[in-house]
Amino acid sequence: MKASRYQPEVAYTSWLLKRAERAVGAALYDALRDLGITPSQYGVMQALVRLEKASSAELARAVFVTPQAMTGLVAGLERQGYIKRKPLKSSRVIEATLTPVGRRVFAEATARVTKIDMQLTSLLTDADVNRLQRALRNCVDAFEGSGPRPPDAPEEPFA
């Protein structure tokens, strides 16, 4: 039996989500590789665009990684000159910000990530995309304990 034809008899929804995540993840890695960043580092850059400056702990929460993992992500971005870090006065907290070259790389990465998102939903109507996003948010809410989201609930920003 070919792996692409395999379908489990139980947990089919979870299996489909994992297949989609793996396909999108592979596409993101391929699209961002020559920019020298991973999808997780792109998430850090996106959080810095939104937040303007942030500590490693704030970034870890924003992109759903451990503080230990964030240390490596931030170090890689800093080594490439995409972010700079500066200690706050009278504090042990070090804040990161995007550099001008980091902003340029982020803009190029965003164009590539947008293409992948468009490919992911290319066989769906706009209404289908809205329903899919609402359904996925409700799936996340089911695990995070916040309950179902009403149909007219405001969008959460992508981190």
Q: What is the pLDDT along the chain (159 residues), one digit of tens a residue?
A: 455 678 888 889 999 999 999 999 999 999 999 999 999 999 999 999 999 999 999 999 999 999 999 999 999 999 999 999 998 776 788 999 999 999 999 999 999 999 999 999 999 999 999 999 999 999 989 988 776 655 555 555 444
At 159 the pLDDT is 41
Give the pLDDT of residue 75.
95
DSSP letters spanning the chain:
--GGG---SS-HHHHHHHHHHHHHHHHHHHHHGGGT--HHHHHHHHHHHHHSSEEHHHHHHHHT--HHHHHHHHHHHHHTTSEEEEEPTTSS-EEEEE-HHHHHHHHHHHHHHHHHHHHHTTTS-HHHHHHHHHHHHHHHHHHHT--PPPTTPPPPPP-
Q: For position 52, what pLDDT does the model report?
A: 93
pLDDT for 92 = 80
Domain boundaries of the chain, sorted by first residue: 10-114, 122-154
Fold annotation for 10-114 = Arc Repressor Mutant, subunit A (1.10.10)
